[in-house]
Amino acid sequence: MDTQLLPDNLLTTQLKKVVNWARRSSLWPMPFATACCGIELMATASSRYDLARFGAEAMRFSPRQSDLMIVAGRVTIKMMPVLQHIYQQMTEPKWVISMGACASTGGVFDAYATIQGVDQFMPVDVYVPGCPPRPETLIDGIMAIQRIIDSEGLPPKGRRRPLQLAVEPDYKPAPQPVAGIPVTVGGRSI
């Protein structure tokens, strides 16, 4: 068919592309923010950085109304079952951003109560590095989610790995000093 014969007000495209465009242009984040990463997440939603131009300004505090979870900051063992429950209640398709060093690897909190990476308990799509990451970095992470949506569209059924519902830290504490054995601090024996 000759495209020159079509009227000027006719637009042709694929339905998949229209659905992906609508989905990536209307992300509704579910913030799970603690400590300093939460402050940077709030700054990203301010008028200075204008998250609205990416269609992600409508922060939803109900998991049933959101499709993008942003885990920002430390997550403890006691918080993890709640976070998993919120993730399970989110509508499909859903995506997860791990924001900051604490959410991604535990950061400087190498303790038994801190989860050493939320990816041990839920699938993470994008890691946003930094301690805390700047708002521009989070915006780059949201744009990475949009690129994932454009390239993949709806995730195929069974593609995501299942949640590991048992919360078991993999932290192995270092051996403690034993009485009678000299301990050295800064090259001096105490």
**Which tens digit of pLDDT belongs to each residue from 137-159?**
898 899 888 888 888 765 555 56
At 142, which amino acid appears? I
Q: Is residue 82 part of a domain?
A: yes
Backbone angles phi, psi at 72, to 5 degrees: -120, 110
Q: What is the pLDDT of residue 157?
A: 58
The whole domain housing 35 covers 13-155
Q: Is residue 101 part of a domain?
A: yes
**Which tens digit of pLDDT belongs to each residue from 1-19?**
566 666 777 666 777 788 8
Q: What is the pLDDT of residue 184?
A: 66
**Number of domains making up the chain:** 1
Report the CATH number at residue 37: 3.40.50.12280
Beta carbons within 8 Å of 101's beta carbon, 6+ residues apart: 107, 108, 129, 130, 131
Q: What is the pLDDT of residue 167?
A: 42
Query: What b/e readout covers 147-169, taking b as 16+ CB neighbours within 10 angstroms?
Result: eebeeeeebeeeeeeeeeeebeb
